[in-house]
Amino acid sequence: MSNIEDELIKRAQSADTEAFCLLAKGYERRIYLLAFHYCHNPQDAEDLSQEVWLKAYQALGSFRGESTFYTWLRKITINCFLNHQRAGRYSWRGQKTDVQLLAVDSIESDERIASSSNSETTLHNRILAERVMQALSELTPPQRLIFLLKHHEGMTYEEIAKAVGCSTGTAKKSISRAVRKLREHLDIEVQSPTTFRALQTKIEIGV
């Protein structure tokens, strides 16, 4: 944890809302993207992200620095996802998600879209994004969450099992199913968090 982040946490724990906002700014896009890849709907992702930050603000006094701030925040994020999943709050529960390019566009900043000078590359990346989203939409919400924790967050199977309340074997089976879906849709190998993050970055920033 950096000295600056540590200072912001201490100030935020003393009811300094400005410090909390600065603290959140460093992680808000990462949390939003995780929520977006999980629920495939910009509005639901925004609502989930807001809930995460509300829970984090309310629980900040319990943060003791025994882990990094992001690890603590990620635990809150996972719990929010699981609570929404159990409540069945998403309209797509039990159904395949309709994938729209508009959803992908919404998570890219206008600056990056405007600065793209290669329209062919941009189109290719948007098609790629559509295929990734379609592959992930064919997983159940628990499978999708487990896949994201492994290939987006780089967590171990043991850490995932503990976080979502399943066995290590179940986590491994979910990853295998997700990877198989991505191979079917993209004809690529997705064997490590690094591979998926590189693919994700390519999609998000259009390079």
Domains of the chain: 1-94 (1.10.1740.10), 96-207 (1.10.10.10)
Return per-residue pLDDT of the chain as tens, 207 residues. Answer: 678 899 999 999 999 999 999 999 999 999 999 998 888 788 989 999 999 999 999 999 999 988 999 999 999 999 999 987 766 554 433 333 332 323 334 434 444 444 444 566 666 666 666 777 777 778 888 888 999 999 889 999 999 999 999 999 999 999 998 888 888 777 655 555 555 555 554 444 333
Cα separation, 34 vs 46, whole angstroms: 11
Name the pTM for this structure: 0.69
CA distance linking residue 164 with residue 112, whole number of Å: 35
